[in-house]
Copies of this chain bind each other. A is one copy, B any other.
Amino acid sequence: MRTFLPPVLLPGLLLRLLLRLWVGLPLCWLSPAQAGADAVTPAMAAQADRLLQSALEKNIAWDVVRSLTTEVGPRLAGTPAEARARRWAVARLRAMGLDNPREEPFQVPLWRRGAERAEILTPFPQPLVVTALGGSTATGPEGVRGTVVSFPSLDALRAAAPGSLAGKVVFIDEPMARSRDGSGYARAVGKRRAAAYLAAERGAVAALIRSVGTSSHRFAHAGQMRRVLEEGESGVPTAALAAPDADQLRRALGYGEPVQVSLLLTPRSLPPAASGNVVAEIVGREAPQEIVLVGAHLDSWDLGTGAVDDGAGVGIVLGALDVLLRELPRPPRRTIRVVLFGAEEVGLVGAWAYLQRHAASLPQHIIGTESDFGAGDIWRFDSRVGEAQLATIDAMAALLRPLGIERGNNAARGGPDMKYLREAGMPVVGLLQDGSDYFDLHHTPDDTLDKIAPGDLDQNVAAYAAFLYLAAESEAYFR
């Protein structure tokens, strides 16, 4: 099978090239406005307040999620379902009245799930609920079997000597902490990314991880493994166990006898397939070349219908744009561009494609953000802007305070698909949602529309509508 070189292999090289081009541009016409709170005029503040009210009273966000999750459902990157989602998005953006709705195609490595089955063979025969991690190799149709060796953390597995686990099945039994800011994920996801490779290096025949998630229900959480491989590196077949099944395996091991399991996984890695971003604008009235970017991602994992990840983000962003289109008496000064990214889940492939395609206009990307953390209310407004711009951001943040949103720090990440743009110097903000329950559903079959009630997204829509208007109407540059 041919080896596909994923775009994330290249960022170091290309980024340096892009940054060099950028530095060479005449930037004088982009010089910042006088920094300070007066970049938000009283008229702008009044308009922002009207947008908040309008968004809280009525918006289309939930209906967008309903439509996407019903009419498309699961939409794994590179599949016909993801292509249907792009067509759905272009039609929806056009119907809303946005300018230039279009697909921006790219190619993505395609991986498709097959059969998946795990069992404790001895001493207590019974099935376990598993799902293959994205990118996992297959076991072959006969499956594999081996004695389980449990590790309390990825670090503990890392400490095992190469070759020391010959013929074994690795089990990383590391739980994830629940928190409002989702900080438990950053730590827990390490085992999802690396388990297959560390297990292979130590001679294991397969790896199982406790799902990266906080659900207490019997759902295994899918998710992508690390795709950037060292020369000659390869991974063993690797699956996530539902939390109750990880508990069960832990209990079985607690009897002190050898625990033998079987694992069958038959996913396929296929040639690169078509994916794409969907892009549209509200073209600015005075500085149409200046772009305020707002994103969400259109693809989802294959097990659920992607309601909270990231149907909610799509709904929030489209809801906010609809409020702007309905309520603003004229377009804002700058262009607001929406990007519904493709192939986020499988490694930010759409984000990379966007950076490549829009390299020339990067300096005109004034500020950006993405909604990709479910349906919880926003509780904090972080930024990543130049020091001189903090007073302007503070003035914007003050206008969001009626929504229960506090001003946060200046170390925002801006959402996953802002990664490359942020690294290339684009200022970002982060409208941080309460993610306490997000990882109960994240990447599971249970990520379905019923988990979001009509109205749940309204506070988010209000905050996005106000922020996008203020950033696009403002004369401030945020660098």
A interface, CB within 8 angstroms of B: 66, 70-74, 81, 120, 123-127, 129, 216-219, 243-244, 247-248, 251-252, 304-305, 444-446, 448-451
Q: Are B73 and A124 neighbours in the complex by a CB distance under 8 Å?
A: yes
Shortest Cβ distance from A215 into B: residue: B217
| The one of B72, B125, B216, B451 that contacts A450, using a Cβ cutoff of 8 Å | B216
Q: Are A244 and B449 neighbours in the complex by a CB distance under 8 Å?
A: yes
Query: A124 and B71 in contact (CB under 8 A), knowing A66-B251, A218-B304, A219-B218?
Result: yes
Query: A448 and B126 in contact (CB under 8 A), knowing A70-B248, A248-B305, A251-B66?
Result: no
In the docked arrangement, what's the CA distance between A446 and B72, Å?
A: 27
In the docked arrangement, what's the CA distance between A247 and B216, Å?
A: 23
Shortest Cβ distance from A448 into B: residue: B244
In the docked arrangement, what's the CA distance between A41 and B198, Å?
A: 70
Q: Are A70 and B445 neighbours in the complex by a CB distance under 8 Å?
A: no
Neighbouring B residues of A219 by C-beta, 8 Å: 217-218
New A-B contacts (14) at CB < 8 Å, excluding given A73-B124, A248-B449: A66-B251, A70-B251, A70-B252, A72-B124, A73-B127, A74-B126, A129-B445, A216-B451, A243-B450, A244-B446, A244-B449, A247-B449, A248-B305, A248-B448
Of the A-B pairs whose beta carbons lie under 8 Å apart in the complex, a sample of 27, sorted by A's number, is: A66-B251, A70-B124, A70-B252, A71-B123, A72-B124, A72-B126, A73-B120, A73-B124, A73-B126, A126-B305, A129-B445, A216-B451, A217-B217, A218-B219, A218-B444, A218-B445, A218-B446, A218-B448, A244-B448, A244-B449, A244-B450, A247-B448, A247-B449, A247-B450, A248-B448, A248-B449, A251-B449
Name the 6 nearest CB pairs between A and B, nearest first: A73-B126, A244-B448, A218-B446, A218-B445, A70-B251, A244-B450
Neighbouring B residues of A451 by C-beta, 8 Å: 216
Shortest Cβ distance from A446 into B: residue: B218
In the docked arrangement, what's the CA distance between A82 and B178, Å?
A: 37
In the docked arrangement, what's the CA distance between A449 and B126, Å?
A: 14
Neighbouring B residues of A248 by C-beta, 8 Å: 70, 73, 305, 448-449
Shortest Cβ distance from A126 into B: residue: B73
What's the least CB distance linking A433 to chain B, in Å?
21
What's the least CB distance linking A264 to chain B, in Å?
14
| The one of B81, B244, B251, B252 that contacts A126, using a Cβ cutoff of 8 Å | B81
In the docked arrangement, what's the CA distance between A66 and B254, Å?
A: 12
What's the least CB distance linking A127 to chain B, in Å?
7
Shortest Cβ distance from A445 into B: residue: B218
In the docked arrangement, what's the CA distance between A120 and B84, Å?
A: 15
In the docked arrangement, what's the CA distance between A83 and B69, Å?
A: 44
Neighbouring B residues of A445 by C-beta, 8 Å: 129, 218
In the docked arrangement, what's the CA distance between A127 and B302, Å?
A: 10
What's the least CB distance linking A11 to chain B, in Å?
34
Neighbouring B residues of A123 by C-beta, 8 Å: 71
What's the least CB distance linking A244 to chain B, in Å?
4
In the docked arrangement, what's the CA distance between A244 and B445, Å?
A: 10
What's the least CB distance linking A438 to chain B, in Å?
16
Q: Are A74 and B127 neighbours in the complex by a CB distance under 8 Å?
A: yes
Neighbouring B residues of A129 by C-beta, 8 Å: 445
In the docked arrangement, what's the CA distance between A398 and B219, Å?
A: 44
In the docked arrangement, what's the CA distance between A93 and B444, Å?
A: 40
Neighbouring B residues of A304 by C-beta, 8 Å: 218
Neighbouring B residues of A448 by C-beta, 8 Å: 218, 244, 247-248
